[in-house]
Structure 1
């Protein structure tokens, strides 16, 4: 009777999952241990598996399914200096907002990395380009370095762009009055190599965790006061307005008020809003620099820069409007699961 041999465990479905011993013995009663490729992942499941009599790797708890490497989200490695109220935006340091992505063509916009394969942006940034391959850049604060030839920048090509089905597509920006469901998911063509300057942000809990008058941080290379794009990544503190204030929307033209829905919130103040942000970029909590270095995050993506910024509507606008991410958690999770299984 031949000896039971479990063979080497198949880790091909999880590129971050590794065997501690590169060339393990795989016979009956032999043990293997698993680890993740870097500290930017955490092992979910059992670490140790044993080759059983049926030729199957089984964990000490009886699991046949191998463990998974899950991205650590919402943490930065950079010491973030604490500061008071920000007026006019503040340049970010490398690694302070490692989930921030930038695209320049065919439209300029931002996005947020949410795991090592997926990012999230505003639907209007990618509307009309679902069949195109777009390029996103990460791991940078200098927007001029956003080119495929720069060795220091992480370049990501899109494989699939999925716009929320409730978003009304195909309306030119200067005619659009309804940005409801302004959210899209982007699957990159290959796994993003995580590091200190490229890390995902956490999705929020569905808990209404961003309260009225609470402050969050918005970031991007968006227009500064004179409407120019900033060369360097900026971030600013913005306070959430009461819903009643948000319902008083600006007019696109004399007869066309902008639509406000329960899938949006608005924030700003002090003449400051997501003019600092790029469309599609993040609004996140806790506010950057709000705690000591032992209390850095985890940061959660609460909003996506959508419409109504100072840059578009002039100095009289004190409100930027954001897609409320927590309203789309089921869609995000179901879409990613469906695509990954498919």
Structure 2
């Protein structure tokens, strides 16, 4: 009698046998499952395999190939608070509210004095993080756009309280990709990708954010839509980077904070910046968010962090923006809107750079009907 032997293991998944005594002989059946709710199956199939006469596990849908378990995006285990109330100044997040939030620390030892700075990013998959190009550009006196060397970058995930960096997941970096057309003058195309050297495993505190996928998401965020931005409030001008990196020190906020901000009409934002002295241009690759009357709430996000909007239909959180720049005035001044990279313009760029030719690498197979 044909015997298919123990079925191959599925990464981030498990197998169940249809027979009580785990038979692996001819006509025995097994089914693969993914570790719910952090992974789902792609392609979406029943993943049932039967032992055939030649001693091979075979499925009607996939033949002898195994499915894969892909990370679920944009569905935190702890649901984010409903987007109703306005948050002024920022509120402490609970652990797991923003499981895609990454802290990116750059320590450039080749410079004298050595340079230290950081920003935030958003996890896109088990090995890619999205951030703003200006966070990872080597800070040279000339206008050249060269990434910092990857040896100088550390990425922290599952980080809630900056003082506990040692307990967070940390990763070194395999590759840094800045957008080829990033303009240091006006911050156009302020977007970059970081490939982690080692993959991360998803769980309550680590989960990717979704990229815009549906037509209405690819149009970019609509005016007056509310989004959330999280950060450690590190853009406070009174704090030195050294204080934060030597994590014993108090930062403006040790605990991850978040703010809720409305998307501003593009024309209104352009006008508000054109009326200032200085050479500001709000391009079609940017959008603005914040309140006309100002308030501390526009400055809490760290550079490169994601501006996320919940899709009303699927309830998943989508990264529509990346914290990019803001006006010269005191943070939170009247009519100083925060400016964000418009991620929907770069979905193809991200897919090209990460080599994810299969459209659904960062998408939700359950929604790809």
The TM-score bracket by the shorter chain reads: 0.7 to 0.9
Q: What corresponds to 2:130 in structure 1?
A: 120
Distance 1:211 1:338, change over 3 A: closer
1:51 Cα deviation after fit: 3.5
Q: Deviations over 1:131-180 (max 9, x none)?
A: 4352111222212222xxx23x2222222222222224xxxxxxx42211
Q: What corresponds to 1:217 in structure 2?
A: 228
Where in structure 1 are there 5+ consecutive unaligned residues? 169-175
TM-score relative to the length of structure 1: 0.80
1:59 aligns with 2:81: no
1:280 Cα deviation after fit: 0.4
Distance 1:249 1:7 in 2: 69
Distance 1:235 1:100 in 2: 11
Equivalent residue for 1:277, pick from 286, 301, 312: 301
Distance 2:178 2:3 in 1: 47
1:34 Cα deviation after fit: 1.4
Distance 1:8 1:163, change over 3 A: farther
Answer whether contact 1:17 1:35 (CA < 8 A) is retained.
Answer: yes
Instruction: State the 4+ residue runs in structure 1 displaced beyond 4 angstroms.
Output: 3-11, 23-28, 53-56, 79-83, 223-228, 309-314, 338-341
Answer whether contact 1:101 1:110 (CA < 8 A) is retained.
Answer: yes
Q: Deviations over 1:203-241 (max 9, x none)?
A: 123422521122111110124777544222111111111
1:199 Cα deviation after fit: 1.5
Q: Deviations over 1:38-94 (max 9, x none)?
A: 531112333211243566542133534321112111112225455611111111111
Alignment of 1:118-197 (within 5 A): 118-127=128-137, 128-132=147-151, 134-146=153-165, 150-151=166-167, 153-168=168-183, 176-197=184-205
Distance 1:311 1:159 in 2: 37
SS at 1:104 equivalent: strand
Deviates more, 1:70-79 or 1:306-315: 306-315
Aligned length: 317
Distance 1:89 1:327, change over 3 A: same
SS at 1:332 equivalent: helix
Answer whether contact 1:224 1:230 (CA < 8 A) is retained.
Answer: no
Distance 1:140 1:318, change over 3 A: same
Distance 1:239 1:281, change over 3 A: same
1:43 aligns with 2:41: yes
1:299 aligns with 2:317: yes
TM-score relative to the length of structure 2: 0.74
Q: Deviations over 1:240-267 (max 9, x none)?
A: 111112223648x95x512322111111
Where in structure 2 are there 5+ consecutive unaligned residues? 108-116, 138-146, 240-251, 362-369
Answer whether contact 2:220 2:344 (CA < 8 A) is retained.
Answer: no
Deviates more, 1:314-323 or 1:93-102: 314-323
Q: What corresponds to 2:256 in structure 1?
A: 233
